[in-house]
Amino acid sequence: MQVFEFSKARDVAHAVQLGAQPGAHYLGGGTNLLDLMKGGVERPRSVIDISELPLALVEPLPDGGLRLGALVRNSDAANHPLVRSRYPLLSQAFLAGASPQLRNMATVGGNLLQRTRCGYFTDLSFERCNKRLPGSGCAARDGNNRMHAILGASEACVATNPSDMSVALLALDAVVQVRRRNGARSIPIGHFHRLPGTTPERDTQLQPGELIVSVDLPPPGFAQHCCYLKVRDRASYAFALVSAAVALSLASDEVREARIVLGGVAHKPWRALEAENSLRGTRLAPEDIQAAARLATHDARALSDNAFKIPLAQQVVARALATAAGVT
Amino acid sequence: MSDVIGEPLDRVDGRLKVCGKATFAAEHNLPRLCYASILYSRVPSGTIRAFDVRAAERAPGVLLILTPDNAPALPQGGRAGVNPPAGRVLSLLQDRQVYYHSQPIGVVIAESPEQAAVARSLVRVSYEAAGAQLDFVAAARASAYSPAESGLSHPHTARGDFPGAFANAEVRVEQTYSTPMEHHNPMEPHATVALWEADHLTVYDATQYVSGVQTTLSKVFGIAAQNIHVVSPYVGGGFGCKGSMWSHVALAAMAARKVARPVKVVLERTEMFGPVGGRPQTEQRVALGARRDGTLVALSHSVISHTSVFEDFTEPCTTPTRMLYACPNRQTEQKLVKLNVGTPTFQRAPGEATGTFALEVAMDELAVALDLDPVELRLRNYAEREPESERPWSSKSLRACYQDGMRRFGWAGRPPPRSLREGHEWIGWGMATATYPCNRRKAAASARYLKDGTALVQSGTQELGTGTYTVMTQVAAEALGLPPAAVTFQLGDSTLPAAPVSGGSCSVASVAPAVRAACEAARAELIARGTTLADSPLAGVPAADIDVADGWLVHRSQRGRRLRVATVVEQQAVAISGSAELERGAEKDQYAMHSFGAVFAEVRVDADLGRIRVPRIVASYGVGRLLNAKTGKSQLVGGIVMGVGMALLEESLLDRATGRFVNANLADYHVPVNADIGSIEVAVVPEEDRWVNSVGAKGIGEIGITGVAGALCNAVYHATGRRLRSLPLTPDKLLAAERT
């Protein structure tokens, strides 16, 4: 671990002022950043502890939505009565992530910024990783890539985003509220995470020094019919092979609106728009569900070890749709 | 005689452990301590051209950087200590050859562990890379070879006419099974603190074998064994990886001598993947020929496992095949392939865990082919004598294990495969036989009554977290006639009477008889002194008429005539003590000695999602006498949990380009978490064995993991009708099987 400067932010203004220095990192729960620092993957020049800022509230918004402060712990968010009753999909996704111990530490803002679990990225022994060392190559592309992307990958990077929460947030149209030294902006969750392209070193659209202060959820629309389904190698404390956040708005058994987002398959939560559209107006007959499941992986391309993810993703989408609709 | 043995006595070290007061190797903090960080190779094969240590040497806190350029020359180029199991071929900076990625090639010593790690990252190494073999399957096709015979296992055995019998068998099964590389990953990583005082070396080490470390260090450095003191009072799990002394121990000692200060090295979790052994990958071909009635007529098991390019280690998968079932025509074969990886080593039930997987799945396939209940198939081939030697068993309760397990599991009425379903899940029941040999090695112990009415009992064995302190206290208390609370048992120190490696499930079988004999000798001496004391109420009573129990010497028939143990001891000028050194006698040539068990498992399989859950496992074992009902059952349950990990989760992923493991951490190398484990019910069937040793206890360290992967794999077949033959049984493999 490299030597770094450590400071505690007094308030949000102070935090973004400190965060404007080059090489600064904000520290929330530390469940990902500290591991990466110990491994030498992250080498911040300064670490700004924001854990005592007043950003740990869950508050109803005037429009009927809900604001999750950036420092709300994952466990608290998952178990909050308003999250459970209005956004059960999000609660399920939180609880599918990590382990109870990690969820007790990890924050909502930090969860958005989780870095990939690609072993070639997290272990400095590997010399080729474009995400860690731009231009060095991608060892995963012809290495062990069972966990890697089947959608949206590039020559430069086949890593996946490991978050469960973000998958549900995308299905729910969340908005990330961000502060910086001279202002604030709102980033729709669909624009927050990036595909790797030729610059896989950047996971998100967040600019250096910007601080996530909250995640805002629009008024609930899918609480009745939703399902977060995650398939992983062990029952808990494992990242998704494939997951799906599915949400349905039904009017007399007919689909008015559908949301289908896949996790564990791409560099960002993967919204399957074509599949969503195919369901509109249907009554979710088995053939409708199968067709949507196939569309969800329409553009998928397998690597050497992860071809199973394509049919698995279809199965996961189909099961999640059936579960959300209550037709299992 | 009291009945302390077998009682579910709480761990005598439990309180210390939960209070954080049990001192593990890494917790020995000595004055002037400094810290070592080991530098590892970044290529899988080649020669080191040069080290550039200039930046590292200037880093804060750095005391010394050891490389082959400045490391002291050791006797025989560092190979003097090679003598498995304790002494392995090590990397001690004697040359510039690199045989695998993550091979130790240097040591950085600094004032703090962080400073050592930072400086290590600043060392630049250039290599002349050479071609590396990292592809097990390709190597198995191209260059498998028969290893020289070793103490572990004969590479080939043959009886009768396997080819002829197999060709003519009425029913045949022939399949290939595979198991991956695994790593032990005990909770406590390897750790060593080394201290030189003049020519005397003290080593605090996390080891399964204190006297093995002492002997190996003595040979490595060419110094007398009595000048080396190895201390290891508590070990946080070993599973075999701490059974050998690996390079970091000698490197810590080398560094400590160079800097003339005590040096601590604690391996990071990633360093547990490579330089300290692991379970080798195997490919196992099993062929079974049977008559229509299920009688085996031909049995063959051919195994290829990997080793390093510089030392042979054989995973003896065929060991159980040689003794488990009666079959007149049988052949087994073990071959090796060399890969550019660290040498693999013993990992919990080496051979039996992997071998019973292949054999017991093949037996299940035969049962399916014969349309016979799998337990019935096994009973029809029950070995009444040890098949290889034709010796009688010292004891064998496998029939009772099958019956007990079937009854408790509710095996009767098992429906056909792929017929039990609930919601999205197929439900399946599978079983397999468990077995492990009863090993025993030479062990010594001593016992001494103390004046305060307590006793001190010593043997240089090890406590891996399994309960050695506790069960030895129980054995000693019973033999000494004292309550367990009055007995202090000491272990984990090379100055104590020598005991064997805590491996091969041999600790209880080896050490308990020695402890018992030492204590009985002390007790005989106590009785002799007690009957000759002035004014003794037992004066002149024959020794045979005196019992010692609960701290008293008591006349067996006239219970009022008694004398406190402490009273006798207080009046002695010479200590009352006993010692013993025991090993197996002629009985080892007369009887075959093994533990057996039967494992029954239920799985629930969501075949669409590839998800396997294990709601319950029921297992019954014949393991002689259990010395402690609580720690014993915990150890068996722990073995089963590890078996679930082997079956469903564990696999070390070797990068095909660099030879580095890609999942070298506990987030990505999956062992079971609580949510993976359902109900596990173990039982021990009553079994008396007067031949294994004087306490009648067979070892239970390893049998628990055997049979579990087979039972689960067979249950998955029963649930889904799909046969998987490659561990671990991950969702991708199940999905592929569903689609064929």
CB neighbour list of residue B714: distance below 8 Å, 6 or more residues apart: B360, B361, B364, B374, B430, B431, B432, B601
Q: What is the DSSP letter of B17?
A: H
Task: Tell me the mean pLDDT in the region A85-100.
Answer: 97
Considering chain A, what is the average pLDDT of its residues?
Answer: 97
**By percentage, how much of chain A surpasses pLDDT 70?**
99
Residue of A95, A102, A116, A123 to mutate for B, most B C-beta atoms under 10 A: A123
Inspect the interface and report whether the beta carbons of A126 and B655 lie closer than 8 Å: yes
Task: Tell me the mean pLDDT in the region A137-145.
Answer: 97
d(CA B698, CA B440): 9
User: Which pLDDT tens digit goes with each residue over B486-503?
Assistant: 999 999 999 999 999 999
Per-residue tokens: B365: 């396939």
| Pairing of β B124-129 and β B46-52 | antiparallel
Nearest CA-CA distance, residue B405 and chain A, Å: 27
One-letter-per-residue 3-state SS of chain A: CCCCEEEECCCHHHHHHHHCCCCEEEECCCCCHHHHHHCCCCCCCEEEECCCCCCCCEEECCCCCEEEECCCEHHHHHHCHHHHHHCHHHHHHHHHCCCHHHHHHCEHHHHHCCCCCCHHHHCCCCCCECCCCCCCCECCCCCCCCCCCCCCCCCCCCCCCCCCHHHHHHHCCCEEEEEECCEEEEEEHHHHECCCCCCCCCCECCCCCCEEEEEEECCCCCCCEEEEEEEECCCCCCCEEEEEEEEEEEECCEEEEEEEEEECCCCCCEECHHHHHHHCCCCCCHHHHHHHHHHHCCCCCCCCCCCCHHHHHHHHHHHHHHHHHCCC
Q: What is the pLDDT of residue B558?
A: 95
Active-site residue (options: B315, B333, B386, B702): B702
B672: contact with A, CB 8 A cutoff: yes
Residue A244 pLDDT > 90: yes
B670: contact with A, CB 8 A cutoff: yes
The per-residue DSSP string of B93-110 comes to SSS-EE-STT-EEEEEEE
Residue that the structure tokens 């950085």 belong to: B108
Q: What is the pLDDT of residue B740?
A: 78
Inspect the interface and report whether the beta carbons of B735 and A316 lie closer than 8 Å: no
Main-chain phi, psi angles of B604, to 5 degrees: -120, 125
Inspect the interface and report whether the beta carbons of B739 and A119 lie closer than 8 Å: no
Within 8 A of A3 by CB-CB distance, chain B residues are: 118
Task: Tell me the mean pLDDT in the region B82-86.
Answer: 91
B274: contact with A, CB 8 A cutoff: no
Residue B151 pLDDT > 60: no
Residue that the structure tokens 């600064």 belong to: A24
User: Which pLDDT tens digit goes with each residue over B360-404?
Assistant: 999 999 999 999 999 999 999 999 999 999 999 999 999 999 999
Inspect the interface and report whether the beta carbons of B668 and A117 lie closer than 8 Å: yes
Contact B467, B638 (CB under 8 A): no
Residue B150 pLDDT > 80: no
Q: How confident is the model at residue B557 (pLDDT cuts 50, 70, 90)?
A: very high
Inspect the interface and report whether the beta carbons of B662 and A119 lie closer than 8 Å: yes
Considering chain B, what is the average pLDDT of its residues?
Answer: 96
Within 8 A of A311 by CB-CB distance, chain B residues are: 735, 739
Within 8 A of B609 by CB-CB distance, chain A residues are: 231, 312, 315-316, 319
Within 8 A of A319 by CB-CB distance, chain B residues are: 424, 608-609
Catalytic (active site) residue B283: no
Alpha carbon distance, N-terminus to C-terminus of chain B: 64
d(CA B435, CA B623): 10
Q: How confident is the model at residue B1 (pLDDT cuts 50, 70, 90)?
A: very low
d(CA A162, CA A169): 14
One-letter-per-residue 3-state SS of B527-544: HHHHCCCCCCCCCCCCHH
Q: What is the pLDDT of residue A327?
A: 83
CB neighbour list of residue A117: distance below 8 Å, 6 or more residues apart: A147, A160, A162, A239, B667, B668
Q: Per this entry, what is the length of chain A?
A: 328
Contact B342, B311 (CB under 8 A): no
| Pairing of β B34-40 and β B263-266 | parallel
Interface of A with B in 191-250 (CB under 8 A): 231, 233-238, 241
CA distances from B491 to B12, B304, B468, B523, B701 (A): 13, 38, 9, 21, 18
One-letter-per-residue 3-state SS of B444-494: EEEEEECCCCCEEEECECCCCCCCHHHHHHHHHHHHHCCCHHHEEEECCEC
Residue A313 pLDDT > 70: yes
d(CA A55, CA B354): 52
- Give the ipTM of the model, two decimals please: 0.96
Residue B625 pLDDT > 60: yes
Comparing CB atoms, the residue among A99, A123, A241 nearest residue B731 is: A241
Nearest CA-CA distance, residue A1 and chain B, Å: 6
Within 8 A of B736 by CB-CB distance, chain A residues are: 308
Q: What is the DSSP letter of B391?
A: P
Within 8 A of A237 by CB-CB distance, chain B residues are: 667, 673, 675
| Pairing of β B191-197 and β B200-205 | antiparallel
A40: contact with B, CB 8 A cutoff: yes
Task: Tell me the mean pLDDT in the region B710-723.
Answer: 98
Q: What is the pLDDT of residue A2?
A: 78
Burial class (CB in 10 A: 0-12, 13-18, 19+), B14: middle
Inspect the interface and report whether the beta carbons of B676 and A238 lie closer than 8 Å: no
Amino acid letter at B470?
T
Task: Tell me the mean pLDDT in the region A62-81.
Answer: 98
d(CA A246, CA B532): 87
Q: What is the pLDDT of residue B153?
A: 60
Residue of A144, A228, A289, A303 to mutate for B, most B C-beta atoms under 10 A: A144
Q: How confident is the model at residue A211 (pLDDT cuts 50, 70, 90)?
A: very high
d(CA B734, CA B719): 12
